[in-house]
Structure 1
Amino acid sequence: MDPIRVALVNDYEVVVRGVAEMLRSYHNRIRVVELDANKQVNHRVDIALYDTFAATRGDQAAVRELASNPLVGVVAVYSWTLDPAHMEATLANGAGGYISKGLPASGFVAALEAIHADGERIHAGRKDISAVVMGDWPGREGGLTEREAEILALITQGLGNTQIAERTHLSINSIKTYIRSCYRRIGANSRTNAVLWGIEHGFQPDRVRITNPEPKPGSVETRARA
């Protein structure tokens, strides 16, 4: 059986590269043929995996756009948010699958295979996500968790706390808690300081397409950049 052809989609190059790296050990089952940061998928793929990290364009619009692309077989959303109503709304919006970031890599790959085979569409996985560390994100080397980094990315893009809560499906109190912990880690004492730190450390969305239609096993090469 041929590997499933996958495009990875997010506004941040480091995020899609991190997911690609996580899938390297499964190259005989999953072939990453394209990484898209703020770009439309332009190769025929079985699955476009949409990572919701700091989705500055908004999940609903991005999912609808991907689902309408004739080159995409099905859209799968990759997210921390496990609210049942939100997951069902995402499917109703055009996604063909929903995968929790709480799954281990093996479960993640199995979920992609199930979605490709028109099997189970929602793969919620474990609820204890605190111990799960997969992929990559801006600020990880500086000690930021993925959630803290996501909040800082949205702050860097100019969103207020209410907008961030709506985007991440977290409560205002949770947002404030993440902001405080984020500020402590980066040594910021104000929102302005945090934005400046974010700009200096890669928290502005990228605009790049990385393609590799016929990759060597486990590799992703930069072929085109805009």
Structure 2
Amino acid sequence: MTPHGLRRPLIAQLLDDYPVTHAGLRLLLQPFEARVRLLERPSDPDVVLYEPARLSTSQRLRLRELQTLPHCVQVAYSWDDRQAHHPFIGKHVPVTQLVARLEELVRQRRRSEEEHTPHLAGPKLSPRESQVLALVGQGLTNIEIGERLGLSINSVKTYIRSGYRKIGVNRRSQAVSWCLQHGLIGGE
């Protein structure tokens, strides 16, 4: 992480069914690969770009899946600047501005995440611990959490153990109660 809370390089995903779009954006971002890397299907992206007018069913499902990542920014990326989606970046924007705007959106999300992360007397939960505990609070099993987040069952158990230790609970029912009390999960 940099002093501004950004992972370097930012990990980006483009949801678009056209290979030429992926190739074009990858080529445009190549000079900025130290700042932004475009990957096919990262498990933990910082930002996902999508064309709102052409979302396939699988892309809609992927967007929904990425909404469980508290730090992932979803950005409408389109030629049609009349889009009502927010945040939005037009495809006509020069690549230097695109990179700067992606960095700023991720910085804003991280600041917002820090403001809304429960502060404890002990160490603060990592973003992944918060994410896993939120899914525990929603009633998902360890296997379901692993499948949703692309983690091994052992990784899920590790995040749960460290999260439980930090919030001072020993059982799943206590963790669910803690999540509800501290706003880690809400009505969806």
Q: TM-score, normalised by structure 2?
A: 0.46
Q: Report which of the two has the higher share of helix.
A: 2
Computing the radius of gyration over CA atoms, which structure comes out larger, 1 or 2? 2
Q: Between Structure 1 and Structure 2, which shows a larger proportion of strand residues?
A: 1
